[in-house]
Amino acid sequence: MTLRRASIVYLLVGLVGTAAFLYPFWLPAESGPASAHAGVAPLIAAAIGALVLVAVAVEIRTGELSGTNVAILGVLSALAGLLRLVDLPGGGSGMFFLVILAGAAFGPRFGLLLGIFSMAVSALLTGGVGPWLPFQMLALAAMGAASGLAGTLTGRLGRQVEIVILAAFGWAWGFIYGAIMNIWFWPFVRDGGPLSWEPGLGLMATLHRYWSFYLTTSFAWDAAGAIANAILILLIGMPVLATLRRFASRMKPVVEATPASPASPHLA
């Protein structure tokens, strides 16, 4: 029952994230750039923070997260935050590299939490606290959770094959992360041009305009970052992933079977 509560909390994180990115499409037509998440972002950040604290508390109560898990989560979050200071071409980031490999090693729930905490730490280190921060946290959480799901499949393969697949995964997420992040402000860019969103557009027309906007403004930048992610994973991903998986295996609960004591002769 408690484990089910943890799943519900993670589902709520996903719902809050989806609503946070999509709610501008239902705003009145007169809403302008001045309202671009400025007042809503703190509420979204507070909701994410509260849900994450509840998720961690439930995980600790169920035994899924021990003190060691929490400590490793904190260390990896701090390290990922520091790696954001490493500039890679385009939108590439050393933080993405670590979140992808740690998510693959520890699983989707750990990856989700790592994405949220890593982005929060990096924002404090770089001074990048603003209305965009909760959306960056949600996007990186999605990357970490997806990495965990990928790791459940690639972990059964050979290490070299797994690294190649995770490199391709990192390449793809170079584009996916950028495409997700553009949505947080695109509905408010209403200049009347062919790339802006307009209220009343159908789904296909909206997707077509957004795709044109993404190709024009972000595709080249994200392509450079995607290649940087893939190269970094191919170059040093194997020893890092092996180390992370070793820690993950040691933190799994171990159940020892003890032989039943012989029956007392008085009870025979």
CB 51 within 8 A of CB 12: yes
pLDDT tens-digit map of 107-153? 999 999 999 999 999 999 888 888 889 999 999 999 999 999 999 99
Which CATH code is given to the segment(s) 2-27+41-251? 1.10.1760.20
The residues, ordered by sequence, that sit 6+ positions from 252 with a Cβ below 8 Å of its Cβ are none
DSSP structure class, residue 252: S
Q: Average pLDDT of 42-59?
A: 86
Between 208 and 64, name the one with better pLDDT.
208
Report whether pLDDT(89) > 80: no
The CA distance from 233 to 84, in Å, is: 15
Residue 36 confidence (pLDDT) = 56
Q: Average pLDDT of 151-169?
A: 92
Report whether pLDDT(76) > 70: yes
User: Where do the domains of the chain lie?
Assistant: 2-27+41-251
| Helices assigned H by DSSP within the chain | 2-22, 41-62, 67-83, 94-106, 108-126, 133-154, 159-183, 203-217, 219-250
Assigned token pair, 239: 């020893």
Provide the mean pLDDT of the chain. 84
DSSP structure class, residue 93: B
Q: Average pLDDT of 211-231?
A: 92
pLDDT band with cut points at 50, 70 and 90 for residue 56: confident
